[in-house]
Amino acid sequence: MLIEALIAVTFVSAVAVMLAPDKIAGKLAFALSLLPVAGSLWMFGQYDASGNALFEAGTLAFETTAKWITVGPYALNWHVGVDGISMPLVVLSTVLTSLAILSAWTPIQERQSQFYSLMLFMLASLLGVFTALDFFVWFVFWEFVLVPMYFLIGIWGGPRRKYAAIKFFVYTNVASLVMFIGFVALVFALDVNSFDMIAVTSALANDSFATTYGLGAETLKVVAFFAMFFGFAVKVPTVPLHTWLPDAHVQAPTPASVMLAGVLLKMGTYAMLRFNFTMLPGVARDYAVLIAIFAVVSVIYGAMLALAQQDLKRIVAYSSVSSMGYVILGLVAYNVYGLGGATFQMVAHGLISGLMFMCVGVIYNVAHTRMVGDLSGIADKMPVTAAVFVAAAFGYMGLPLMAGFAGEVFIFIGGFQATFPYAQLFTAVAMFGIVVVAGYLLFAMQRVLFGPFSADTDYDIVPAASHDTFAIVVLVLLVIVLGTAPEVFYGMIQDAVNPMVDSFPEATAVLTGGEL
């Protein structure tokens, strides 16, 4: 019942904050957000699962099943639980929400109780997304997440907030629809009587089709795979489906950007991992080259776009496209380091991109501009912020002993071990992203942070508020801890991805494993 309690507490907190007066809403929301943080950390401490949530062989942690409704022959059940893939993401969601709330204290000055309430409501939905094991429960939470984000951008956003919010909502919702049709069509064709993800996985593994709409099992799988892939790729986002992202980020207030880049994008790759790659590994294998092309193009093209930007927030937004491309590369590699690295990178990138957006937000709070050309040498006036910015930027570049390096190097190892055609070449090309990312971040830092001080703004450049500094310092420390001790999460992640690798030996057959 722990997961239910966690979601319920978060939801009740959201309601409580909604009713609280604006004056105390921020502090109350932060205090209440510590409850899910504590809860998720306690879960993490008590975590005792092994194996993957979608395979019957393993055990799940905190699993509960309850009858919900029956539709025709289909039983829709409340079914939640966590495994090594979802547990780190649950912790990431709670921690990042808490810090994002802290980062809202300075910039959010209007309709505060609604703002913080939506943040907590979003967290409750996210927890549902990462723990649900029945498709319908999962889908309800999946859609729920969009609502608060729509309002966060649409109400508290920048000048073009309406355009950005609607674009975000319509784009991702249409994608969800395609994905929904793809998955439901697949389940209707299978010989199962529920939408339970475990049941669907095993039915697909056994190829127990009741009908295939006259398409043939293989074609149906391919169609369903790409319908779902399209739906999730928009969320990730993968080039060329990414253009909603920079608009959403640039218009969104800082805390919403933190959540969007830090957690919401991971929903896409998480769902790809669960649905596309766990349920239909054969299709993923057959189309590995195509998927790898998407991944590599996302990495390089996304990084090139970041290089062309003048707005710090746009730089970070495009660089997310680039970093998420690595996750897809790891998934398609389909071995322990690839899949595990992809999962680890979700957490690592969640922390680091959240951190980068917060740093940019801290500068924006003070300077009221984010344009690279408007600022110069502000390290002189904001030394601590500048120091954290440098640390964050190097984290983003994949500096060893920081979380991003661990995630990336696991993915690269996985990519090199992958056995689909030209896997090594794809990996090597994608790796060039580490040079481009260094390019645009170093250029931005040189111009904004260093050199003689000047600021083309009407505001005084003064050190950041202490709660802002606190939030970014905590995140930097977390990034360093995860980078020096990736085992904190990586052990359970490997537990959860190994059954996937075992279930599909074709991807690794040529290589013998074993300690050397």
Partner 1 sequence: MAGAFDFTAAVPLLPFAAFLIALLVGHFAPRLLPKGGAIPGILATAGSLLLSAWLALTVSQGTYHTETIYTWVVGQNTFDLHFGVLVDPLSAMMLVIVSLVAFLVHVFSLGYMNDEGETGLPRYYAGLGLFTFSMLAFVVADNLLMAFMFFELVGLCSYLLIGFHFREAGPPSAAKKAFLVTRFGDYFFLIGVVGVLATFGTSRFLAVSEGVESFPHLAEQALLAAQGEGATPEHVAGFLDVVGFEPQTWFAILGLLILGGVIGKSAQFPLHTWLPDAMEGPTPVSALIHAATMVAAGVYLVARMYGFYALLPTVLAIIALVGGFTALFAATMGVVKDELKQVLAYSTISQYGYMMLGLGAGGYIAATFHLMTHAFFKALLFLGAGSVIIAMHHNEDMWDMGGLKEKMPVTYYTFLSGSLALAGIVPFAGFWSKDEVLYEALIYGSGESPILLAGYAMGLLAVFFTGFYTFRMVFLTFHGDARTDTAESPHGVGWNVKFPLVVLGVLAATVGLINMTPVAKLTGEHIEFLKDWLAGPQGSAYANIGYEHYHHLLVDFAGYGANESLGVLVPAAVSLGLALAGAGLAWRLYSVPEPVEHTEKLGGIKTVLYNNYYQDEYQVWLAEGVTLPLARAADTFDQGIIDGVVNGVSSVSLFAGGRIKRIQDGIVTHYAALLTLSLVALLVAFGLLGGWF
Task: Pick out residues in 256-315 that bind partner 1 (CB under 8 A).
Answer: 301, 304-305, 307-309
The answer to whether 66 touches 78, Cβ cutoff 8 Å, is yes
CB 406, min distance to partner 1, A: 8
- In sequence order, what DSSP letters do the residues of 385-448 get, joined into one string? HHHHHHHHHHHHTT-TTSHHHHHHHHHHHHHHH--STTHHHHHHHHHTHHHHHHHHHHHHHHHH
Which tokens belong to 494?
Answer: 């490997």
Residue 69 bridge partners (DSSP): 76
- Nearer to partner 1 (CB atom), residue 73 or residue 452: 452
Of positions 486, 489, 500, 507, contacts partner 1 by CB under 8 A:
486
Contacts with partner 1 in 201-220 (CB under 8 A)? none
Interaction of residue 184 with partner 1, rule CB under 8 A: no
CB closer to partner 1, 181 vs 297 = 297
Which CB atom, from 242 or from 274, has the smaller least distance to partner 1?
Answer: 242
Give me the phi and psi of 210, to 5 degrees please.
-90, -35
CA distance 161 to 108: 15
Stretch that binds partner 1, among 21-29, 144-152, 224-232, 434-442 (CB under 8 A): 434-442
What is the C-alpha to C-alpha distance for residues 489 and 344, in angstroms, rounded to an integer? Answer: 7
Residue 502 has which token pair? 């075992």
Q: Is 487 in the site for partner 1 (CB under 8 A)?
A: yes
Residue 487 makes CB contacts below 8 A (sequence gap 6+) with: none
Residue 438 is a binding residue for partner 1 (CB under 8 A): yes
For partner 1, the binding residues in 45-84 under the rule CB under 8 A are none
Q: Binding residue for partner 1 (CB under 8 A) from 13, 103, 172, 427?
A: 427
β-partners of residue 384 are: none
Calculate the CA 18 to chain-centre distance. 26
Would you count residue 135 as binding partner 1 (CB under 8 A)?
Answer: no
Q: Does 171 engage in binding with partner 1 (CB under 8 A)?
A: yes
> For partner 1, which residue of 21, 159, 452, 505 counts as binding (CB under 8 A)?
452
To partner 1, the closest distance from the beta carbon of 33 in angstroms equals 28
DSSP character at residue 45:
H
Residue 156's nearest CA partner among 167, 146, 165 is: 165
Q: Which of 371, 451, 481, 488 binds partner 1 (CB under 8 A)?
A: 451
Per DSSP, 238 falls in state P
Q: Does residue 243 touch partner 1 according to CB under 8 A?
A: yes
Restricting to residues 362-421, name those near partner 1 by CB under 8 A: 377, 379-380, 390, 394, 397, 399-401, 405-406, 409-410, 412-413, 415-417, 419
Binders of partner 1 in range 497-516 (CB under 8 A): 498, 501, 510-516
